[in-house]
Structure 1
Amino acid sequence: MAELPHIAPIGTEGYLVRFADRLDDAANRALVGFAAALEAEDVAGIVEISTALASVFVRFDVTQIARADLVLRLQALLDGRDWLTAASAAPPRLWRVPTLYGGAAGPQLGEVAKLVGVTEEAAVRELSAARVRVLAIGFAPGQPYLGMLPERWDVPRQTALSPRVPQGALVLAVRQFNLFANETPTGWRHIATTHLKLFQPDAPQPFVLRPGDELLFPAVSEHDWAMLETDPMGGAQLEEAT
């Protein structure tokens, strides 16, 4: 087995820089830092840098940079610092996203609470205080995978799909949240809903969130949540994390 991090070709125009064989919080933080540093280098010929849960995908234009030269640049950047340390150097952004838990906005909150062995009220208190990080953006434009929740929230996915959850749905499985950018079916359990529009195509930055951002989902009343319906940001507030 190759030593990690490891650079491997993907097709004719890409490389995958793998930091772990499975989701690992330290490796994910490292790869987010590596991707940001590679982006900052603005290497001629690199046309896409995308992060996943355990790896970074780099797509390049073969007419602008040779494969061997790109591999040398990637390896030099990997060797240039201890990424497990460097990844935590830059302060992340912290989002507070008003969230309505339970009821029609989170019809499976009670099911999740029962699986964990707590009351719905206790589940809301704990989940609304849980500070999670954007591990990756994927599945739909701007949609984040968020983690990691404490171990007791290692709730399995459903054995069958829920036919529909709305845009802004907050769902839970395997110690992670997923916040849906679009109405969609899902195998994760729907516990709450926000009004945050994750993909805003007419904005200078169409994706609201980016890998490494941290989020809190504080509980709000149904009245306060309804007042945010026309706000594309859903009342979300951004600050520098400490």
Structure 2
Amino acid sequence: MAMMPHIAPIGTEGYLVRFADRLDDVANKALVGFAAALEAEAVVGIAEISTALASVFVRFDVGQIARADLVARLEALLASRDWLVAAESGAARLWRVPTLYGGAAGPQLGEVANLVGVSEEAAVRELSAARVRVLAIGFAPGQPYLGMLPERWDVPRQTELSPRVPQGALVLAVRQFNLFANETPTGWRHIATTHMKLFRPDVAQPFTLRPGDELIFPAVSEHDWAALETDPLGGARLEERGDA
């Protein structure tokens, strides 16, 4: 097995910088930091930098940078610091996202609570206090995979798809939340709904979230949640440093 981090070619115009062979919390933090540092270097010829759960994809323009030169830049950046140590030292942006749990806004909350062995009230208390991180963005523009929840929330995906969950749906499976950017079918269980806007094509940075951001989904009343529908970010508020 290759030592991590490991650089491997992907097709004719890409490289994958793999930090782990499976989802690992520290490795995920490390790759987010590495990707940010690589982007800051603004290397001529790099066309795309995309993070996933355990790796960073780098696409390059073969007419602007030689393959060997790109690999040398990636190797130099990897060697410049201990990314696993650096990952634990940074303070993330923290979002607080008002969330309505259960009922029509989270019709499968009771099912999830039963699978875990707690009451719905206990599930809401724990989940609304959980602090999760954007592990990756994908599936739809701006849509985050969020984790990791405590081990007892390792709830399997459904064997059948739910035909529809709304935009803003907070769903749960495999110790992760997913917050949907669009109405969609899903195999994850729908436990709550937010009004958070994840993709805003009319602003300079259309993706609201970025890898490494942290989120808390505090429970609010139906009255307070409904009042946030017209808020530009659905009531979500950002703290530039997530120390609290």
- Range class of TM-score, shorter chain: over 0.9
Residue 141 (structure 2) aligns with: 141
1:6 is aligned with what amino acid? H
In structure 1, C-alpha distance between the alignment counterparts of 2:86 and 2:58, rounded to whole Å:
20
- Report the identity percentage: 86
Residue 103 (structure 1) aligns with: 103
Structure 1 residues 140-173: Cα deviation after superposition (integer angstroms, max 9, x where no partner): 0000000000000000000000000000000000
Runs of 4+ in 1 over 3 A off after TM superposition: none
Residue 179 (structure 1) aligns with: 179
Q: How does 1:77-96 map to 2 (within 5 A)?
A: 77-96=77-96
Structure 1 residues 198-222: Cα deviation after superposition (integer angstroms, max 9, x where no partner): 0000111100000000000000000
SS at match of 2:35: helix
Confirm or deny: 8 A CA contact 2:26 2:88 kept in the other structure: no
Residue 229 (structure 2) aligns with: 229
Structure 2 residue ranges without an equivalent (≥5): none
SS at match of 2:29: helix
In structure 1, C-alpha distance between the alignment counterparts of 2:206 and 2:152, rounded to whole Å:
34
TM-score, normalised via structure 1 length: 0.99
Q: CA deviation at 1:88?
A: 3.0
Confirm or deny: 8 A CA contact 1:34 1:87 kept in the other structure: no
In structure 2, C-alpha distance between the alignment counterparts of 1:13 and 1:194, rounded to whole Å:
39
SS at match of 2:57: strand
In structure 2, C-alpha distance between the alignment counterparts of 1:88 and 1:45, rounded to whole Å:
30
Confirm or deny: 8 A CA contact 1:100 1:193 kept in the other structure: yes
Q: How does 1:1-242 map to 2 (within 5 A)?
A: 1-239=1-239, 240-242=241-243
Confirm or deny: 8 A CA contact 1:4 1:18 kept in the other structure: yes
Confirm or deny: 8 A CA contact 2:31 2:54 kept in the other structure: yes
Structure 1 residues 46-71: Cα deviation after superposition (integer angstroms, max 9, x where no partner): 11100000000001111110000000
Number of equivalenced pairs: 242
2:76 is aligned with what amino acid? A
In structure 1, C-alpha distance between the alignment counterparts of 2:21 and 2:188, rounded to whole Å:
23
In structure 2, C-alpha distance between the alignment counterparts of 1:66 and 1:165, rounded to whole Å:
45
Structure 1 residues 182-212: Cα deviation after superposition (integer angstroms, max 9, x where no partner): 0000000000000011000011110000000
RMSD: 0.6
SS at match of 1:33: helix
Q: CA deviation at 1:34?
A: 0.4
